A and B are shown apart, each in its own frame.
Chain A
Amino acid sequence: EVQLVESGGGLEQPGGSLRLSCAASGFTFKNYEMNWVRQVPGQGLEWISYIGSGGSTKYYADSVKGRFTISRDDAKNSLYLQMNSLRAEDTAVYYCARLVIGDSVRGAWFDPWGQGTLVIVSS
Chain B
Amino acid sequence: DIQMTQSPSSLSASVGDRVTITCRASQSISSYLNWYQQKPGKAPKLLIFAASSLQSGVPSRFSGSGSGTDFSLTISSLQPEDYATYYCQQSYNIPITFGQGTRLEIK
8 tightest Cβ-Cβ pairs between the two chains A and B: A107-B32, A106-B50, A113-B43, A47-B96, A109-B49, A107-B91, A111-B46, A109-B34
* Residue from the list A46, A105, A113 in contact with B44, Cβ < 8 A: A113
Closest A residue to B43 by CB, please name it.
A113
Task: Tally chain A residues at the interface, Cβ within 8 Å.
Answer: 24
Tally inter-chain residue pairs, CB-CB below 8 A.
71
Chain B nearest CB from A121 CB (Å) reads: 21
Binding site for A on B (CB under 8 A): 30-34, 36, 42-46, 49-50, 53, 55, 87, 89, 91-92, 94-101
| Whole-angstrom CA separation of A106 from B48 in the bound complex | 11
Chain A residue contacts of B87, Cβ below 8 A: 44-45
**Helix, strand, loop or mixed for chain B's interface?**
loop
Q: Contact check, B98 vs A61: say whether CB atoms are below 8 A apart.
A: no
Nearest-neighbour CB distance to chain A for B54, whole angstroms, equals 12
Q: What separation, in Å, do the CA atoms of A86 and B61 have in the docked complex?
A: 43
30 residue pairs bridging A and B, Cβ less than 8 Å apart = A35-B96, A44-B98, A47-B95, A59-B94, A59-B95, A61-B95, A95-B43, A100-B49, A105-B30, A105-B50, A106-B31, A106-B32, A106-B50, A106-B53, A107-B30, A107-B31, A107-B33, A107-B34, A107-B91, A107-B92, A108-B91, A109-B49, A109-B89, A110-B34, A110-B36, A111-B46, A111-B55, A113-B43, A113-B45, A115-B43
